[in-house]
Amino acid sequence: MTPPFLTPLSAQDLRAAGVPPEWRYGIRDRVRFSELDALNHVNHTAYLRWFESLRLPYCRAYGISDYDEASPDLVLKSVGATYHAPMFINEDYIVTARTTRFRRTSFRMEYAVFAPECRIEGFALVVLLQRNGEGRFPLTDTMKQTLIERDGAVAEA
């Protein structure tokens, strides 16, 4: 039996939870005690952990990486986050991801946390590398098409 948690929400569930339609990939989770800092709210780095946790199944689901020998290495070039409102112990939230832009060997993901209003937004610029250390790994046509069809991603020069 697949446990009914920590699995990607359907479009219907995302919409029912008030997540805007541009977000197509998200999961539910709950704030843990260990994510709080001495100020009693979620530490600013915890959200980047949430984005990281979501990035892995996202990249697998979108056909970008199976995290095996045939897959590219995914390397973070840069990340960022903007904090709209703090989060507290035991709050339930939905964390979402999508790709907004891609180039030949990189793509820009965006993230948001809804509880239910948008509390935090973030991004990551991900670069694809050959696993043998021989330079960049170009996004395949299938990968590009998936990013365009599912997320409305835009190709950049």
Closer Cβ to a second copy, 35 or 144, answer by number:
35
Distance CA 99, CA 74 (A): 14
Residue 3, interface with a second copy (CB under 8 A)? Answer: yes
Indicate the helix (H) or strand (E) that contains 121: strand 118-129
Residue with tokens 């949430």: 50
State phi, psi for 98 to the nearest 5 degrees: -160, 160
Closer Cβ to a second copy, 76 or 155, answer by number:
76
Binding range to a second copy, per CB under 8 A, among 27-35, 101-109, 131-139, 143-151: 27-35
Q: Residue 115 contacts by C-beta under 8 Å, 6 or more apart in sequence?
A: 87, 91, 92, 93, 94
Residue 77, interface with a second copy (CB under 8 A)? Answer: yes
Distance CA 48, CA 128 (A): 20
Closer Cβ to a second copy, 82 or 145, answer by number:
82
Interacting residue with a second copy among 12, 34, 70, 135 (CB under 8 A): 34
Beta strand 92-102 pairing with 154-155: parallel
Binding range to a second copy, per CB under 8 A, among 79-87, 100-108, 131-139, 145-153: 79-87
Shortest Cβ 115–a second copy spacing (Å): 12
Q: Residues in the site for a second copy, rule: CB under 8 A?
A: 2-7, 28-30, 32-34, 36-38, 40, 43-45, 48-49, 52-53, 56, 75-83, 89, 92
